[in-house]
Amino acid sequence: MTENVIALNRTDDLERAETLFNKYRIKHIPVVCKDVVIGMLSFTDLQKISLAEATADEHDVNAVVYNSYTIEQVMTKNVVTITADTTIKEAATILANSAFHALPVVEEGMLIGIVTTRDLLKYYLKNY
């Protein structure tokens, strides 16, 4: 699990989300309210609402589109979470049988980490 999780607040905007995706080269960001996971935003979610490919001035279009939506409107709600004592096999099974690629790790409802398909592949390569 990755422990130093990059997270968004429900009050952040989508431009901040895009900045974080690009700066940290990540594809999934938990959305929190007082460290409690309330949603998940993926880079793909941003791509779905972006019209950047339809114009030469990508930044202006993204700014207009991003200002038309809130994080809460775009994020996935009802996020599947796991705990720190969830086994690697259980986490892999959840991800293998789901349409998403990241699991926030929570303890007493609070975000403490994230497990992604990339994390599982790195673990597999290191240990096998």
Delimit the domains of the chain by residue range. 8-127
pLDDT of residue 109: 85
Q: How many helices (H) and strands (E) does the chain have?
A: 6, 5
Apex 42 CA angle, 36 and 48, nearest 5 = 135
pLDDT of residue 66: 76
CATH of domain 8-127: 3.10.580.10
105 Cβ neighbours under 8 A, 6+ residues apart: 1, 81, 82, 83, 84, 86, 111, 112, 113, 114, 115
Residue-wise pLDDT tens digits, 31-89 = 999 989 999 999 999 888 875 445 545 555 566 677 788 999 999 999 999 999 999 99
Tokens read off for 11:
């009050």
Residue-wise pLDDT tens digits, 105-125 = 999 989 999 999 999 999 999
